[in-house]
Each structure stands twice: as structure tokens, then as C-alpha cells.
Amino acid sequence: MQTDKTILQSYINNFQFLERGLKKQSNDPIHDLRKTAFNHLLEKGFPTKREEEWRFTDISPIIQESFILAEENNIKEFKQSDIIQLMFKDWAGPLLVFINGNYAEHLSDINTAQAGLTIDTMLSLLKKDQKSLLDTFTEFKTYNENVFSALNTAFIKDGSIIKLEKNVIADKPIHLLYISTKQEKPQLINPRNLIYLSDNSQAVIIESHVNLTDGQYFNNPVTEIRIAENARCNHIRIQDESSEAFHIGSIFVDQKQNSHYFSTSLMFGGKIARNNIYTNLDGEGIETILNGLYMGHDDQLIDNHTFINHAKPHCESHELYQGILTDNAKGVFSGKIMVRPDAQKTDAKQSNNCLLLSNEARINSKPQLEIYADDVRCTHGATVGQLNQDAIFYLRSRGITWQRAKNILTYAFAEQVVEGIGIDSVRDYVNDIILSRLKEDMNFIK
Amino acid sequence: MLEIKNLHAAIEGNEILKGINLKINAGEIHAIMGPNGSGKSTLANVLAGREEYEITGGSVRFKDNDLLELNPEDRAREGLFLAFQYPVEIPGVSNSYFLKTAYNEKRKYQGMEEIDAADFLMLMKEKMKLIEMDQALMNRPVNEGFSGGEKKRNEIFQMAVLEPKLAILDETDSGLDIDALKIVANGVNKLRSKDNAYIVVTHYQRLLAYIIPDFVHVLYKGKIVKSGGKELALDLEKKGYDWLK
Ligand SMILES: Nc1ncnc2c1ncn2[C@@H]1O[C@H](COP(=O)(O)OP(=O)(O)O)[C@@H](O)[C@H]1O
Ligand SMILES: [Mg+2]
């Protein structure tokens, strides 16, 4: 696990650069958190393939690159018309736009008329009310979980902070839009989101990580979601980074009694892309749904890691991941379900299905059930395969071309996840990506 | 319409069709009968273009084409239709979406514009009436969870929508009760015209009481061993296939 000194040196330089920029603010309490996290990173180093959780995902191309920290250079130059294709159609809800990790106020709209819903940015809150922010952070302690969240914490700069007071139902979905653009030197971007749903509150949050111009960069976002008693969170996450980009996302979810978390994770882009979801079911009567779709082509590597911690009795988790891989793409799925001794009457169901559309495409699929309670129902299933040849022939025998027949079956496979996206404009956006991968247009699904 | 000459076909190195000769003109109905395993479905699948079968000899002309040169979708667009003995279930693809796509592919091939949703709905309604097809089946995934009879009826329904020149019905009668059989046969009789032709594959004569064939052929071990008029079907019913050996 020791990482080469020369590799870490570029991070040390970046950290020193950050500290110089902070000037007086380097005495702020938040900076202690950064320093702790950074020391943690230096101490642990980056993971290697010898570590179980990284066995199939070789990240050496990421750590061998030296990145620079994104600066607040030219955000103002971007007009809404430049980014319109990355927005959802006719969006009426709150929108937070970040370009290369920096908040673009002129493109955003966070003036919500709704009482009990607060939307802010990390940067502004750090200036206004660092203490309340830190209280939330220290409860999370997420930098212990993996070094990439430590990396994120070490370079905390900006991100989205959303808070719902008790009994508040967000009347419109909230869009967090992270856009990357090509820069002279590859950049490291560390968005940090905090989402806090108090008792009985509800929100739909869409987080998208997309690119405007192709190019190399490393996006390393962390999203923390706390869902209090009886609260409900629908979290849709779209990852469509540049084909040269690296993306490692971490989502930490903490759920209390009778709460509901519904995650839809859509992974399309990136040269190496990984998403980690950790959910902690800390209360009874909790429901957790983790759905995912990943589509890899060319020589992409797409990795989905999920961890569901059943800590208390009478909780349910359902997980459905669908993968579509073609060309030389590689997929990794690791789904860990932990059922602690206390968690009697747990109902956990997991399935991961992967379509391999070329001879070269590969998937490593690893379900891991660790069950320490006796009265539980846990099932998992994984399928890997090609399209059904009988079905293709059936479609062709009705005059449908071979290519379209394959697309019809592939789309039907993807749709099992996509149909769960309850917002038309978001579903259209996702369908657009899928259809362009299939070289079809919207007429295909009309 | 269709002319098969000395057709040989094999699967996994086993020759199944061993020299089939058959000529079908527009307006005709041909029945192909024969015991299980004689090669009836193989012939149907070879005509539809199933690639697992290797053509080891002979030729097939369909209208003005060398049929064996066409891929399955172009055979369909030229007007060939196979009602499968075992229709495939396709989860996640609705029956109506599937049929609309198929219908439009054919229209495009014929240089026509795609049909709009409203007109397609009208067409569906008309054809559903003809086959007495349940509306609820249209919005369900293709054949998924359909009963044996519903699957067979769905095949004939597709045929009614796509209006082929030559339809091959592979044991459409099996799995249908007598009422459904009559409805399906009645549909076929309404759809038949002097411009289209049918090959009705069956190993019972039951269906042939409702769809009256012009010719009956007996397929046995990959060869047509006897051909005759509709009375041949009755002979077979009485005497079985043993006397042909
Ligand atoms: N995929 C296959 N692999 C090997 N043998 C096959 C295959 N399909 C059909 N056959 C064989 O071909 C012969 C003819 O089958 P088939 O055409 O289905 O007969 P029928 O429809 O007349 O009952 C049978 O002996 C059958 O076992
Ligand atoms: Mg058969």
C-alpha cells in the first residue's frame, strides 16, 4: 500500500499551494479537518490491486498522472446557452452549477421560495457558519472509509449543501450540475455535497457529473446524505464524464428509523470510473433501494461498489444493477451486504446482470453476503451473458434489422433501471445518452 | 411464388433435409404433414433464414429472389412470414411497440412513410377483431407469460398486421382449443387471397378441416415422400404414417 514518494509529491505540492492560497484562513477549524485527512492520505497511500476492494480496478493511470487544482479562472465566460445541453429540459427546480469545481452563481438558481428548505454552497457556508458545517462533518468522519474521500476532504473547497427542516417536502427536484471542461493541464476536482433531511422530510436530488469539452481530468466527488426518521430521499446520479476523464465517486448514506433511500446510479462516461455507495441502515423499518445502470464501450473501465450495512432489525434493501459492455470495456461490480447480529428480519435482495456485447468485454462480479443474524431473508443473483439469439431471430423474422433487433433487446435491458426515474425530463436526458450509445434517436422509443 | 429445388440442410453436421422439391403458386394452400422429427420445423426455419442451419445443396426462389441469399429481415420484408411452433418470449419489449416497429420497417422497405400512432392504433383494432385478440395482450411484453394458445394467436395476429405474401404456419394448431382453432382458421380464411399463399405445417388433420388445403405433402425423414389433394390428410389420419415407410 505504500505509494511512491514521487507520486505523493504532486499532492503535497498541491496541498502547499492550497495552503498558500488560504492565507489567514489556514487557521480556520475546517483546515484542521483538511490536514487530518491529508495526513491520512499520506499515511495510507493509494490502494493497489493487492487490496481486495481494488483487485479488479487498476488505478495506476490515475495516480501516475499529476493533476493541478482547479482555479476559479473563467467561469464568467460561460453562458447558459453553452451548457443548455447538460441541463434538463424546462427545469423549474433549484439548480446549482459548478464548472471545474467552482460555483457558477450566474448559471445557478437557488432562490427557493419554500420555507424550511435551505440550499447553499460549501464556500459560502464556510465563510458564514463554519461551526454548524463542522458539526455535521465530524459526525460523518468519512475520510476513514477510503482514501479517495480523504483526498476529497483534504482539498475541500466547494460543493452543495442542502437542508430540509422537519416535515418539509421539497416541492421541486434539486439539480446539482457538475461540469468539467478541457484545461491546459489535467485538473483535480473535489466536489463535496452534504444533504440533510430532517424527520418526515422529502426531497428528490439529481447529481450529474458531465463534461462540456473532452479532455483529461480527475473528478473525485463525495456526497453525504443523512436521512432522519421517516424522511425520504430519491437520489439520481448521472455520471457522463469525458472519455479521457477519471471519476471516483463516494456516497455515504446514513438512514434512521422508517426512512427511505432510493438511489439510481447511471454510469456512462470516464476512462476509469468508479462509484462507491455506502449505506448505513441505523434504525428499524428502513427501506433502501440501490439501482444502477452502467454502459461501457471502447476501453472504459466502470466499477460499481456498494455496501449495505443492515445494523437494525426489520429493514429491507433491494439492489438491481444492470450492465451493458461492448468493445474492450471492463466492468466491475461488488455488492456487499452486511447483516449484523442485531438485524433480525432483514430482507435483502440483490441482483446484478451484465450483458457482454463483444468478445472482448469483461465483467468481474462479486456479491458478498455477510450474515450474522439467523432470522433473515437474503438473496442474490448474478447473470452474465449475451443477447438472446432466439429473440434476435424472432425480431428479424418480422423484418427488423439485426442491428435494430440487438438495440431493442439492449434497450429493454437498460430500461429496467431507467423506468424507475420518475421525472420525465431526467429520464429523457438519460434516454438520450443511452440511445446515442446505441446510435438510435428518440424515435426509437416513441 | 416459391420454388424449392432439391434442398438439403444440416445442423451440427447432421443432414435433416435430404432433397426437398416443392412449388407453390399464389393463391394456394399447401399442407405439410409428417411425424415428429421428420424435418417440418427445419424446413420452416431454413425458409425463414435461421442461420444455425447449413444449406448443403439445392436452391429456393421466392418471387424474383434467390431466397437463400437474403438475410432473415429482408425475407420478411419481401413478404415471407413464419408463425413459429415455439414463439419466443421477449421481456421488456411490448407487443405493440414490437409490431409497430416491424410494420414500419416493412413500410420503409416499400418506400412508404412510417405510420403514425393513431393510424396504427386503428389498424391494430381492426386486426384484433379479426383474430379476437385480447387488447390487454398488446401492452404486455412480447409473449411473456402468455398461455400456449395466446402465443399462437399472437403469431396469427402479427401475420394479420404484416400481411405477408407467403405465410408458413408451423403447428399453429397445437396448444389451441377447438374454439380458438376455429377463430384462427377463420382469420386465415379471411386473409387468404389470390395474391398470397400458405404453408400449413401440422401433424394432425384437425386444422385442415377448417383451413382446406389445395395440396397435402408428407414429409418423412427429410424428404417429401407423397403429395396429393386434401383427401391425403384423411388417409393419414386413418392409417397413420407407417404405411409410407
Ligand atoms: N438444433 C438442433 N440440433 C440438433 N438436431 C436438431 C436441432 N434441431 C432439430 N434437430 C433434429 O432435426 C430433426 C428434425 O427436427 P424438426 O425439424 O424440429 O422436426 P419436426 O418439426 O418435423 O418435428 C430431429 O431429429 C431433431 O432432433
Ligand atoms: Mg416441428
- Give the model's pLDDT for residue B245: 63
pTM for this predicted structure: 0.93
Whose CA is closest to atom 10 on ligand 1?
B11
Whether residue A141 is predicted with pLDDT greater than 80 in this model: the reply is: no
Pair B133, B159: CB distance under 8 Å? no
- Give the model's pLDDT for residue A431: 96
Distance from CA of A391 to the nearest CA of B (A): 6
- Dihedral angle computed from the Cα positions of residues A294, A187, A75 and A149, in that order, rounded to the nearest 10 degrees: 60
- Give the model's pLDDT for residue A144: 60
CA distance B28 to B166: 10
Torsional class of B205: left (φ above 0), alpha (ψ -120 to 50), beta (otherwise): alpha
Q: Tell me the mean pLDDT in the region A378-406.
A: 95
Query: Looking at beta carbons, which residues of chain B come within 8 Å of A446?
Result: 117
pLDDT tens-digit series, residues A336-353 = 999 999 999 999 999 999
- Give the model's pLDDT for residue A137: 64
Whether residue B156 is predicted with pLDDT greater than 70 in this model: the reply is: yes
Is the complex ipTM more than 0.85?
yes
pLDDT tens-digit series, residues B186-199 = 989 999 999 999 99
- Dihedral angle computed from the Cα positions of residues A121, A127, A131 and A137, in that order, rounded to the nearest 10 degrees: 40
Whether residue A3 is predicted with pLDDT greater than 70 in this model: the reply is: no
Cβ <8 Å between A394 and B88: yes
- Give the model's pLDDT for residue B149: 87
Beta bridge partners of A219: A189, A247
Cβ <8 Å between A393 and B71: no
Which residues, chain by chain, have CB under 5 Å from ion ligand 2?
B 40-41, 85
- Give the model's pLDDT for residue A25: 81
Q: Tell me the mean pLDDT in the region A59-67.
A: 90
Residue tagged 473535489 (cell numbers): A190
How many Cβ pairs closer than 8 A exist between chain A and B? 72
Q: Tell me the mean pLDDT in the region A258-264.
A: 98
Higher pLDDT, residue B64 or B16: B16
Phi then psi for residue B35, to 5 deg, are -65, 165
Q: What is the DSSP letter of A169?
A: B
Residue B144's alpha-carbon distances to A118, A354, A396, B139, B140, in angstroms, are: 47, 21, 18, 11, 7
Whether residue B225 is predicted with pLDDT greater than 80 in this model: the reply is: yes
Q: Tell me the mean pLDDT in the region B106-116.
A: 91
Window 165-184 of B, Cβ < 8 Å to A: none
- The dihedral through the CA atoms of B67, B69, B72, B73 has a sign that is negative
Cβ <8 Å between A397 and B72: yes
Segment holding A392, helix H or strand E = helix A389-396
